[in-house]
Structures are given as structure tokens and as C-alpha cells.
């Protein structure tokens, strides 16, 4: 088992993070890891969210006793998960996309043109449904507001 050295650093947002570097037999072959708190702060998600993604098999941190240590690959996967969620994909769909994300590739979601077109249609359908619900709610509100004694 490798020994961990804690180092202070800053993330892409300039916020302080603790980076754990695993000291291996070959000192030039260090592996940077992140704690659950580091990733939660950097990406603006809760600890519970990260544990949920772990339970779903989307993230695979290693453990040092009770401490979860996330690799650069886990960090990359978290970026992909959050991007996929912003685009409206389900976690199952995101998991499938990440499964196609091979070693050494730049972080990206593996999405075909037809998948993008289907997602656009799905989101447009949802927007129409939301617009219809808002119209109905506004009518109800106006009816209720007019019924109140003045």
C-alpha cells in the first residue's frame, strides 16, 4: 500500500483544496487524489451526491481507512456526470456514455448525432409541457386572486 502525502493546492476556481499524493516506489510515478470534500467544493455538489454516484457505480474512489480518495479519472468522470445532467440525460444514459470513455481520451461524453437530436426533441417536449402547466397555474392563480375580498 502506498503512503499518502497531503499537499495544499488550489482548484480551477482558485479555492484551496487538499491534494493527496501517493508516494510509490518510483517517486516520479505519483498519483494525485482528491478527498470527497475537495470534489464537493470544486463542483458545488453535496457529499451525499458524490456517495450516490459511487453507489450507482459512476465513481470508484479508493479508500484509506474511512477516507474516500478520488483519482483524476474520478474527477474527470464527475465532470462528465454533471455535464450529462445539465444536458438532461439520465444517470443510466450517462453511465453508458462514461463506459465508452476509454483510457487516455479527453473528457467528453460519447454522444451520437441521433442521441443529441433525440435529447433536443425530449427537452423541447418537456418545455412545451412546462409552458402548458404555467398557463394553467396562472389561470388558477388569477381566479383565486380575483376571488379574494379586497
> pLDDT per residue over 99-129, tens digit each?
765 555 555 677 778 888 999 999 999 999 9
Contact 60, 74 (CB under 8 A): yes
- Beta strand extents in 24-122 (DSSP E only): 31-35, 62-64, 67-71
- Pick from 75, 73, 95: nearest CA to 85: 95
At residue 42, what are phi and psi to the nearest 5 degrees? -60, -40
**pLDDT at residue 26, as a whole number:** 39
pLDDT < 70 regions, the chain: 1-30, 100-108, 150
Question: In the predicted model, what is the mean pLDDT of the chain?
Answer: 80
Phi and psi torsions of 34, nearest 5°: -130, 145
Q: Which residue has the cell 453511465?
A: 95
> Is 91 exposed, middle or buried, given 0-12, 13-18 or 19+ CB atoms closer than 10 A?
middle
What letter would DSSP give residue 12? T
CA gyration radius, the chain: 22
State residue 101's pLDDT score. Answer: 58
pTM exceeding 0.75: no
Question: Residue 103 is placed in which grid cell?
Answer: 483510457
As a whole number of angstroms, the distance between CA 58 and CA 51 comes to 10
Q: How far is CA 6 from CA 32, 75, 85, 146, in A?
A: 10, 18, 32, 64
Amino acid at each position: 500500500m502506498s503512503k499518502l502525502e497531503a499537499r495544499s493546492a488550489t482548484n480551477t476556481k482558485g479555492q484551496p483544496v487538499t491534494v493527496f499524493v501517493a508516494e510509490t516506489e518510483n517517486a516520479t510515478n505519483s498519483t494525485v487524489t482528491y478527498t470527497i470534500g475537495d470534489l464537493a467544493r470544486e463542483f458545488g455538489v453535496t457529499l451525499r451526491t458524490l456517495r450516490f454516484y459511487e453507489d450507482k457505480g459512476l465513481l470508484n474512489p479508493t479508500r484509506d481507512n474511512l477516507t474516500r480518495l478520488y483519482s483524476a479519472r474520478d474527477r474527470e468522470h464527475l465532470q462528465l456526470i454533471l455535464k450529462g445532467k445539465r444536458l438532461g440525460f439520465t444517470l443510466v444514459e450517462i453511465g453508458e456514455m462514461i463506459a465508452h470513455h476509454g483510457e487516455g481520451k479527453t473528457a467528453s461524453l460519447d454522444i451520437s448525432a441521433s442521441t443529441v437530436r433525440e435529447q433536443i426533441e425530449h427537452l423541447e417536449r418537456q418545455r412545451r409541457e412546462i409552458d402548458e402547466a404555467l398557463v394553467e397555474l396562472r389561470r388558477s392563480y388569477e381566479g383565486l386572486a380575483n376571488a379574494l375580498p379586497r
